[in-house]
């Protein structure tokens, strides 16, 4: 795994190969590569871009084989999943990596399936990349990685970001690296570049619909129904789509039901996450495991039936969706363990 999400080695390389699950990571690293090349005399007119789905190999090799009067070129291959490249194009990519002397090459690609990258052809490719240049392979962006990343990002701006606050930020935003960086920049400025506090995050923070709904359900589980309804009203004030709210509520209670079943088998939340959604946010299942203790199994099953009925009604009738959510939330509160 890469030490950070951005390239830190600023040497002028013959080859850069960036691979990440996050397209923002790819975009940011391509910007770093372009900056390195510009500092070494390669201007914008000497940079050629090719998308994976539209690779013109004849044009690429014309560039490779034709001397430039303006110095070296940078050839960029980007915008695609490495595992979607067909065998013929893959072989040509390997050949290009070996034969791009006299030019600079940047390959910036995403991937989704870790298992596919275990094929021998990728091991062979990565060995060639390391022989000729820099491999920046961000294998996994998990919560701990993101927390450490934003703490480091804040530190570079002279701002302290305590671990518990970084955890809250990641919990609110999820795995969107670009949004996380933007949020931390905002918090740094709000703190006057001193220390980001939980209060700053609560006042200024962006939250996904899922994170806001999880907060609402937490309030229900903590037996604070008035606060839970206030949270629902906040979502309405932000003009959040009612069906999106219902979807997040359903997701939360499905997770709780899974965790309740797991508790009976003495399984922890990490096992539940692994069994159902290996790449999901682990906080989600940790919360679900804790919150499941506030409902009996039969109550959770009844809540899931209520959620299903509400989903059908919202999508098939002209009833007031906000009122339906008020009633549904009240019904859920009534099902909690007293």
Q: Kindly report, residue by residue over 75-90, the tens digit of the pLDDT.
A: 999 988 999 999 999 9
Q: What is the pLDDT of residues 118-144, one digit of tens each?
A: 999 999 999 999 999 999 998 767 788
Mean pLDDT of all residues in 64-82: 83
Mean pLDDT of all residues in 292-318: 91
List phi, psi (to 5°) of 78: -150, -170
pLDDT tops 60 at residue 104: yes
Q: What is the pLDDT of residues 226-244, one digit of tens each?
A: 888 988 888 888 788 899 9
Q: What angle do CA 7, 12, 15 make, to 5 degrees?
A: 75
Rounded to the nearest integer, the mean pLDDT of the chain is 87
The pLDDT of residue 278: 63
Beta bridge partners of 74: 47, 104
Mean pLDDT of all residues in 151-167: 94
Helix (H) or strand (E) holding 109: strand 104-110
Cβ contact 267:213 at 8 Å: no
**How many residues in total does the chain contain?**
338
pTM for the whole thing?
0.57
What DSSP designation does 196 have?
-
Query: Which tokens belong to 280?
Result: 């999901």
Q: What is the pLDDT of residues 279-289, one digit of tens each?
A: 666 667 777 88
pLDDT tops 80 at residue 174: no
The pLDDT of residue 211: 76
Regarding predicted confidence, which is higher, 325 or 282? 325
Q: At what angle do helices 242-264 and 297-316 cross, to 10 degrees?
A: 160
The pLDDT of residue 70: 66
């Amino acid at each position: 795994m890469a030490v950070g999400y951005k390239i830190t080695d600023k040497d002028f390389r013959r080859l850069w190969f960036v691979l990440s699950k996050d397209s923002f990571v790819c975009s940011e690293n391509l910007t770093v590569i372009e900056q390195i090349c510009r500092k070494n005399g390669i201007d914008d007119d000497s940079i050629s871009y090719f998308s994976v789905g539209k690779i013109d190999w004849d044009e690429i090799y014309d560039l490779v084989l034709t001397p430039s009067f303006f110095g070296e070129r940078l050839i960029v291959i980007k915008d695609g999943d490495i595992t979607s490249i067909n065998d013929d194009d893959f072989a040509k990519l390997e050949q290009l990596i070996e034969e791009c002397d006299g030019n600079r090459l940047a390959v910036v690609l995403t991937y989704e399936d870790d298992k596919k990258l275990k094929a021998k052809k990728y091991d062979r490719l990565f060995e060639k990349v390391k022989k000729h240049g820099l491999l920046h392979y961000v294998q996994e962006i998990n919560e701990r990685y993101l927390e450490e990343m934003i703490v480091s990002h804040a530190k570079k701006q002279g701002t302290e970001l305590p671990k518990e606050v970084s955890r809250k930020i990641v919990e609110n935003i999820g795995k969107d690296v670009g949004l996380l960086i933007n949020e931390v920049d905002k918090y740094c400025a709000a703190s006057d570049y001193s220390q980001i506090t939980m209060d700053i995050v609560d006042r200024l923070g962006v939250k996904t619909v899922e994170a806001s709904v999880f907060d609402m359900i937490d309030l229900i589980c903590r037996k604070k129904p008035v606060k839970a309804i206030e949270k629902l009203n906040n979502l309405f004030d932000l003009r959040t789509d009612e069906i999106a709210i219902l979807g997040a509520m359903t997701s939360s209670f499905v997770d709780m039901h899974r965790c309740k079943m797991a508790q009976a088998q003495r399984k922890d939340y990490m096992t539940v996450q692994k069994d159902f959604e290996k790449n999901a946010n682990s906080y989600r299942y940790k919360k679900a495991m804790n919150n499941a203790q506030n409902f009996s199994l039969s109550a959770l099953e009844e809540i899931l039936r209520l959620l299903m009925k509400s989903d059908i009604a919202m999508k098939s009738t002209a009833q007031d969706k906000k009122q339906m959510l008020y009633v549904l939330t009240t019904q859920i509160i009534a099902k909690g363990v007293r």
